[in-house]
Amino acid sequence: MSRIGYTLAILASSVLASACTDDLTPTNTPPAGSTSGDESTTFDHDNSGISPWELLDRLTQEGPPQYTSHMHSCAKVRYKTLGNVLTSLGVNAANATALSAGDLYTNGFNALGGPNYANRIRENIGITTSGASREFDIFAAASDEVIAAFANPSSTLMTRCPGAVLFDANNTCQPSGITCLIGTPATSSHLDFCNLTITSASDVPTGKRLAVAAMLAAAYTCE
Amino acid sequence: MAKTPFAKRDEHHELTRRALIKWSVAAGAALGVSRAKVFEILERAGGRDVAYAASENATTRSVHIVAGNGGLAWFTAFWPHNDIAAAVPAGAAVKPGGTLVTGTDNPLTLSVDAPWKTLPGANQVTAFLCGNNETHTRQPQSVVGLNGNNIFSVASALQSSSPSVIPIITIGDVDVGTAPGSARPANVGNGDGIVGLFNSAASRAGGLLSKTTDATLYKAHFDAFTQLNRAANRSTTKIAYTTASGAANFLGTNLSAKLQIVQADLDRYMINGNTRANVAAIGRSLIVSVKAFKMGLTNSVVLPAMDDDPHGAWDGGDINTVPGQMQAVFNGFMSDLQNTVDDNTMKALGDDTVITIHGDTTKDPLTKGGWPDGSPMNTNTVFVYSAGHLKSGWWGSIDRAANVKGFDAQGKPATYSSANTAKYAMASIAYAIAKRDERAISNFANGLTISGVFGRPKDL
């Protein structure tokens, strides 16, 4: 056979072989006794787990789990701490008036997951629906007192944040007041959401209270 | 080996379905909205299969009664030991007139004061002679432990597959111990206190969130403000913020009117001015429990009971009044369970609720004079209403001559072992709560077989 003939024969056979590949036994068939096989003969491993690239990206942003679980965990605000927070906001945490923030705080010890030392039960550090809803209820009840505290120069809140203003004469949210409330510098988004809350509520006074309650709840969800 | 694209697609579909059911139902529970409505939506959106899968709770709800400080003795006035009830020996702490129930798996005698007499034999209580006499404690341990875990917490762990707003509620000083995966209980002072758990001040009339529009706005803006927290989207905080978001939604929902105890409730339970305070307290807790179960607000309630160390019950004549009051309360409770349709499953709560009764001592069943605390061979007892998941009747016995028989892992009569019998009893309770799912309880039961022995096999 000529060189051209050999070339044509090799090309033709390779084309034929590739066309019949589906009918051939796979070349990577595991040896007898192997623990791997196919879906009907071996455990079907799930290989669709976390993408290594997504994990790497997350680790780059958040740090390793040992670090992020310490720095970015979200433990609930402890009972005593919540009392201190309320006091620092100008709220009377010992107020016994029914349904006042102080009353809800005092009577919310169990719902807030406070420690039961007599029964050797430590304070719950996880956020539960009952605990978080009671905490948010307290902030909702405290909103009036907080707004009033901004207008009282001798209040605990104004002592902590001298000169801070939460709402101006036009009922517009002010960054100094928000910063004082949430404990971190207010951003333009905070201002936008705060103003939107006031304008979207059923009336302006309710909107101001809602804004305070929502900002406090969001800021103090985690300790 | 990697999965085929079709297998992956199918699995993804299942995950999506589970997620859809889970979050739809959880959202409904958090809002206190009828889950029937949720299922209607699911049926329209995801088809009949999805709605059907969602409507079946994987576990029962449970009520655990801890009758400490001798309080359990009152319950032996309902379900006395068969041989003692048959013989009524002179001086024994048993009333004449008890009757053997027909249709039970093991013999069971109902005293004249027993509740739930109209239940079929298969659904009558299961009584386990188990554990130790722990006279004069309000928090007995030998009749609640299962391989190092507490059965109340085991129940909570098992019930985690059925979403609720507050998974487990404890009343007073009952101890629920721990178990892997269990929820932390919300504790209240008494049954009426349960109402307060689901009753925010903000949502009441005149409250900040009393208007629906304001409540919706609050939730939306709470979510918006949390997104401004830099750590809000971290993998380690997502669960906490999701819970908090649910709480913000819940804050605007006032359920107190639906949970409040009204006169009609008290009438059904025959609670009036003559009812003993400790009996009325049980009734009030049970009334609110049914209402909370109905709305899917909680899965489990653990309450104390009696706690009155009734040494003088027979001598002073209380045995002629108190069990009757208790009977009325427990009959009212069962009637409520049977006539209340669970918003989650659209089934009667009576078919989906397990009731357990524990205590520190049954007192001596053969001595009514002074009703001594000691029991033959230091035995204790747990009574279980299993909604038909367990074989009914007595496991273990005390006869008229104070002979004690225990039982072994196969349910056969054996020398009494307080530890082993308690283990079998607690595993059986877990089995009933898991609706006969032997695999679900395997982490706690440590290889014990309940199906076909103490429990009825799962229907296939």
Q: Is the pLDDT of residue A31 over 80?
A: no
CA atoms within 13 A on the CB side of A198: 17
* Look-up of token digits 């959880």: B26
C-alpha A121/C-alpha A115 separation (Å) is 6
- Contact assignment for A197 to B221 by CB distance below 8 Å: yes
pLDDT tens-place string over residues A146-166: 999 999 999 999 999 999 999
What per-residue confidence (pLDDT) applies to B143? Answer: 97
What per-residue confidence (pLDDT) applies to B22? Answer: 52
Query: How many angstroms separate the CA of residue A218 from the nearest CA in chain B?
Result: 5
Q: What is the pLDDT averaged over residues B124-146?
A: 97
Q: Is the pLDDT of residue B169 over 70?
A: yes
Write out residues 226-245 of B within 8 Å (CB-CB) of A. 226, 228-229, 231, 234-237, 239-241, 243-244
Q: Which of B293, B348, B352 is nearest to B164 (CA)?
A: B293
- Predicted confidence band of residue A120 (pLDDT cuts 50, 70, 90): low
Q: What is the pLDDT averaged over residues A75-104?
A: 93
- Contact assignment for A210 to B243 by CB distance below 8 Å: no
Q: Any chain A CB within 8 A of the CB of B248?
A: yes
What per-residue confidence (pLDDT) applies to B52? Answer: 47
What per-residue confidence (pLDDT) applies to B14? Answer: 44
Contacts of B391 (CB under 8 A, 6+ apart): B105, B106, B126, B411, B454, B455, B456
C-alpha B437/C-alpha A208 separation (Å) is 52
Helix axes A129-150, A79-88, angle to 10 degrees: 20
What per-residue confidence (pLDDT) applies to B6? Answer: 52
Q: Is the pLDDT of residue B227 over 70?
A: yes
Q: Which of B71-80, B438-447, B448-457 has the lowest mean pLDDT?
A: B438-447
- Predicted confidence band of residue A29 (pLDDT cuts 50, 70, 90): low
Q: What is the pLDDT averaged over residues B247-265?
A: 86
Cα angle, residue B62 at apex, residues B345 and B374 outer, rounded to 5°: 160
CA B438 to the chain's CA centroid = 19
Q: Any chain A CB within 8 A of the CB of B211?
A: yes
Q: Is the pLDDT of residue B39 over 60?
A: no
CB atoms under 10 Å from CB of B273, counted, come to 5
Query: How many angstroms separate the CA of residue A118 from the nearest CA in chain B?
Result: 10
Q: Which of A43-57, A164-178, A203-217, B357-371 has the lowest mean pLDDT?
A: A43-57
- Contact assignment for A39 to B240 by CB distance below 8 Å: no
Q: Which residues in A lie closer than 8 A to residue B1 (C-beta atoms)?
A: 36-39, 42, 44-45
- Predicted confidence band of residue B95 (pLDDT cuts 50, 70, 90): very high
**Single-letter amino acid code for the residue at A58:** R
Q: Which of B108, B114, B78, B105 is nearest to B93 (CA)?
A: B78
**Who wins on pLDDT, A148 or A28?**
A148
Query: In this predicted complex, what is the ipTM?
Result: 0.73
Q: Which residues in A lie closer than 8 A to residue B247 (C-beta atoms)?
A: 127, 129-133, 135-136
Q: Strand ranges (DSSP E) for B286-424? A: 300-304, 353-359, 379-385, 393-395, 397-398, 404-407, 413-414
What per-residue confidence (pLDDT) applies to A19? Answer: 46
- Contact assignment for B226 to A210 by CB distance below 8 Å: no
CB atoms under 10 Å from CB of B329, counted, come to 26
Query: SS3 of B99, please?
Result: strand
What per-residue confidence (pLDDT) applies to A39? Answer: 60
**Single-letter amino acid code for the residue at A165:** V
Instruction: Quote the percentage of chain B above a pLDDT of 90.
Output: 65
Contacts of A106 (CB under 8 A, 6+ apart): A93, A94, A96
Using CA atoms, how far residue B342 sits from A162, B270, B339, B354, B414, in Å, is 55, 24, 10, 14, 41
Do residues B352 and B340 touch, judged by C-beta distance below 8 A?
no
- State the average pLDDT for chain B: 88
Contacts of B77 (CB under 8 A, 6+ apart): B93, B95, B111, B113, B319, B323
**Who wins on pLDDT, B47 or A166?**
A166
What per-residue confidence (pLDDT) applies to B17? Answer: 47
- Contact assignment for A206 to B244 by CB distance below 8 Å: no
Using CA atoms, how far residue B409 sits from B76, B77, B154, B340, B412, in Å, is 24, 28, 20, 36, 7
C-alpha B431/C-alpha B449 separation (Å) is 10
What per-residue confidence (pLDDT) applies to B246? Answer: 81
Residue B263 in tokens: 């006169």
Task: List the single residue in A with minimal CA-CA distance to B205.
Answer: A99
- Predicted confidence band of residue B460 (pLDDT cuts 50, 70, 90): low
pTM comes to 0.67
User: DSSP string covering B302-325, please?
Assistant: EEE------TTHHHHSGGGTHHHH
* Look-up of token digits 């004449």: B96
**Listed ranges A4-8, A140-144, B35-39; the one with the highest mean pLDDT:** A140-144
- Contact assignment for A130 to B166 by CB distance below 8 Å: yes
Q: Is the pLDDT of residue B58 over 90?
A: no
Residue B272 in tokens: 């009036």
What per-residue confidence (pLDDT) applies to A207? Answer: 95
Task: List the single residue in B with minimal CA-CA distance to A66.
Answer: B236
Residue in A76, A113, A130 nearest the CB of B197:
A130
Q: What is the pLDDT averaged over residues B305-332?
A: 97
Contacts of B158 (CB under 8 A, 6+ apart): B59, B430, B433, B434, B440, B441
Q: What is the pLDDT averaged over residues B99-113?
A: 97
Q: Is the pLDDT of residue B45 over 70?
A: no
C-alpha B154/C-alpha B145 separation (Å) is 9
What per-residue confidence (pLDDT) applies to B435? Answer: 96
Q: Is the pLDDT of residue A20 over 50?
A: no
Q: What is the pLDDT averaged over residues A29-57?
A: 67
CB atoms under 10 Å from CB of A132, counted, come to 28
Q: Which of A170-179, B7-16, B413-422 has the lowest mean pLDDT?
A: B7-16
* Dihedral over Cα of B330, B352, B358, B429: its sign: positive
- Predicted confidence band of residue A197 (pLDDT cuts 50, 70, 90): very high
pLDDT tens-place string over residues B377-407: 999 999 999 999 999 999 999 999 999 999 9
